A and B are shown apart, each in its own frame.
Chain A
Amino acid sequence: MALLNRMDWYDIARTTNWSAKYVTEDELFPTKLAGDFGLPQDAWEKYDEPYKQTYPEYVKVQRDKDAGAYSVKAALERSRIFENSDPGWKSVMKAHYGAIARGEYAAASAEARMMRFSKAPGMRNMSTLGCLDEVRHAQMQLYFPHEHVSKDRQMDWAFKAYDTNEWAMIAARHFFDDIMMTRDAISVSIMLTFSFETGFTNMQFLGLAADAAESGDHTFANLISSIQTDESRHAQIGGPALKILIANGKKAEAQKRVDIAVWGAWKLFSVLTGPIMDYYTPLEHRKQSFKEFMEEWIVAQFERALTDMGLDLPWYWETFLEDLGNTHHGMHMGSYFWRPTVWWNPAAGVTPDERDWLEQKYPGWNDTWGQCWDVIIDNVVDGNMAMAYPETLPMVCNMCQLPILGTPGKKWNVKDYPLEYNGRLYHFGSEVDRWVFEQEPERYAGHLSIVDRFLAGMIQPMDLSGALKYMDIAPGESGDDAHNYAWAEVYRALRATKKAG
């Protein structure tokens, strides 16, 4: 039997709205789940997805793609790439899998909300495939690291991370809960797919795939390249929804959701991707600095995506551009200094050669971040390790849940952005974080940061052992220097030369 071409039947097949007779429209599409933008159902029927795909096509393409990724993994399982790779690269994998794998499964639930509750038939079709994508991504990103669990306890965090109160996971959960687990279908399409996926994840996967290939980790490179092609498809779910909102006079509501999600995504990337690209990836394998990467892949492309859509750049865009050269250096220093509290081993990334690279990419690095690193390096070189660890907690932001930080050293510029609300003093890491809180205070006010929990006596005993227990970091999982401080030998040699000279 001859088959019709897809475009001869696609529109008819996905026109699945009908007039409900046995329930009201509100019962069929409860506003909390469907979105309350006051638009009639027929407005949503104009939703026109740019990427049209049918279920049979999806299955065929994905089957081939998954088979490719799985067969590369099978072929390389005996290659000892993991055992032989740089410890900094292992940390990249551990941080990535822990922060992402179970988040993908949560994203499947968010896609399912669009699939069931969106009033736009086209969105429901795309989200069906998007949901399947996320289920596959969760499965793959749990299956791939599993072969390494017996070699390295920290790899277990690919599965475990989301069930813990580890501080970076509290931050990741807080963000994902906000943009995708507790929003209506239309807001999910804007905040998860348009803002987070178009703006950021697509690029995380591109950049990481390049670094993985450079580092010789072809299994990881193939896996995330495969995922990226799915992301670039389902990331387009939000665009047509934005067009409908703007055409119907709802630009302000759409813009606010974009502004909130982009900022949260940026903060999460500053702690996850920034240190990976500028400190963990071995110097010889670095393609671009994090700032260059962000400017090329995110700033330029996302600016265009926003303006093409008829949206404005977020009101804080200048601040964001400026932060591209700063925030992640602080996030790196924080996760390095508090390394016992992360599930990977941070690479310091501050040998003299690496510092030259940092100074070249970020002029002024030595006078700012370098000033703090000088003290840390001296302590490590002198064997004064007690001083190379913390004895208290950093203050964390009540919005992004990450340390409140700024530029140190000769250009010292660190600031708290406090706000008193209903008698409680909240702390924020930036004006933007505080602004997000102020948009809907009741949404966020009840959450306790890790510092709030500590002060409330929820972490016992009130020391590092209590903190590790609270974060569920078991022996063998606690982070330490990725290279076991081998990099300090260069500094010892330099000192010896100086002394001899």
Chain B
Amino acid sequence: MALFPVSSNFEGDFVLQLVAVDTEDTMDQVAAAAAVHSVGRRVRARPGSIMRVRRQGEEDFFPRTLKVSESGLKPTETIEIVWEAPKH
């Protein structure tokens, strides 16, 4: 349990933002923490979509239940939070 700063690059937003998460947070919790600073402020919510997290520049998302402490992310490293359309 420790505070862990990340740099949030949220899909549709214009700026990277400092977001504090916890090393025990899952990637879904990280996405939710990042959304606080973008969704409803400068980015419209997308009901039904889920937010996925990946390391900047990578194609693959982190598993949604992966903890920050297991991700290999470095403090302040930039993550992308990208909308994933619901699967039908």
Interface residues of A (CB under 8 A from B): 330, 333-334, 337, 369, 371-372, 374-376, 379, 387-388, 390-395, 403-409, 412, 414-416, 418, 425, 427, 451, 454-455
Residues of A within 8 Å of B7, CB to CB, are: 395, 404, 416, 427
Residues of A within 8 Å of B20, CB to CB, are: 392
Q: Is B87 an interface residue (CB 8 A)?
A: no
B78/A391 in contact, CB under 8 A: no
Q: Which of B24-32, B34-42, B46-54, B61-69 contacts A (4 or more CB under 8 A)?
A: B34-42
A330/B15 in contact, CB under 8 A: yes
**B57 → chain A closest CB, angstroms:** 8
Residues of B within 8 Å of A409, CB to CB, are: 12
Residues of A within 8 Å of B15, CB to CB, are: 330, 333-334, 394-395, 403-405, 414
Q: CA separation between A387 and B44, bound complex, in Å?
A: 12
A391/B43 in contact, CB under 8 A: no
Q: CA separation between A451 and B7, bound complex, in Å?
A: 11
| Contact A408/B41 with A425-B77, A455-B5 known, Cβ cut-off 8 Å | no
Q: CA separation between A330 and B16, bound complex, in Å?
A: 11
**Chain B, Cβ-Cβ closest to A409:** B12
**Complex partner residue of A406 from B14, B19, B44, CB under 8 angstroms:** B14
In the A-B complex, the 5 residue pairs with the smallest Cβ-Cβ separation, listed nearest first, are: A408-B14, A395-B16, A372-B42, A416-B78, A405-B15
**Complex partner residue of B75 from A334, A408, A425, CB under 8 angstroms:** A425
A405/B40 in contact, CB under 8 A: no
B42/A414 in contact, CB under 8 A: no
**B87 → chain A closest CB, angstroms:** 22
Q: Is B11 an interface residue (CB 8 A)?
A: yes
Query: Could you list 7 examples of A-B contacts with CB < 8 Å?
Result: A372-B13, A394-B16, A404-B7, A404-B15, A405-B15, A408-B43, A455-B5
Q: CA separation between A497 and B9, bound complex, in Å?
A: 37
**A401 → chain B closest CB, angstroms:** 14
**Complex partner residue of A394 from B11, B18, B56, B74, CB under 8 angstroms:** B18
A376/B12 in contact, CB under 8 A: no
**A497 → chain B closest CB, angstroms:** 23
Q: Is B76 an interface residue (CB 8 A)?
A: yes
| Contact A425/B76 with A330-B14, A415-B9 known, Cβ cut-off 8 Å | yes
Q: CA separation between A369 and B5, bound complex, in Å?
A: 27
B76/A427 in contact, CB under 8 A: yes
**A490 → chain B closest CB, angstroms:** 20
**Chain B, Cβ-Cβ closest to A429:** B16
**Chain B, Cβ-Cβ closest to A413:** B14
A391/B37 in contact, CB under 8 A: yes
Q: CA separation between A134 and B20, bound complex, in Å?
A: 44
A392/B78 in contact, CB under 8 A: no
Q: CA separation between A78 and B39, bound complex, in Å?
A: 48
Residues of B within 8 Å of A334, CB to CB, are: 14-15
Q: CA separation between A371 and B13, bound complex, in Å?
A: 9
B19/A337 in contact, CB under 8 A: no
A372/B16 in contact, CB under 8 A: no
Q: Is B23 an interface residue (CB 8 A)?
A: no
Q: A376-B42, A392-B20, A395-B18 are in contact. List 11 more A-B contacts (CB 8 A).
A: A330-B14, A333-B42, A337-B42, A375-B44, A379-B40, A391-B36, A394-B15, A395-B16, A395-B78, A414-B15, A415-B9
Residues of A within 8 Å of B14, CB to CB, are: 330, 333-334, 369, 372, 405-408, 414
Residues of B within 8 Å of A379, CB to CB, are: 40-41
Residues of A within 8 Å of B17, CB to CB, are: 390, 392-395
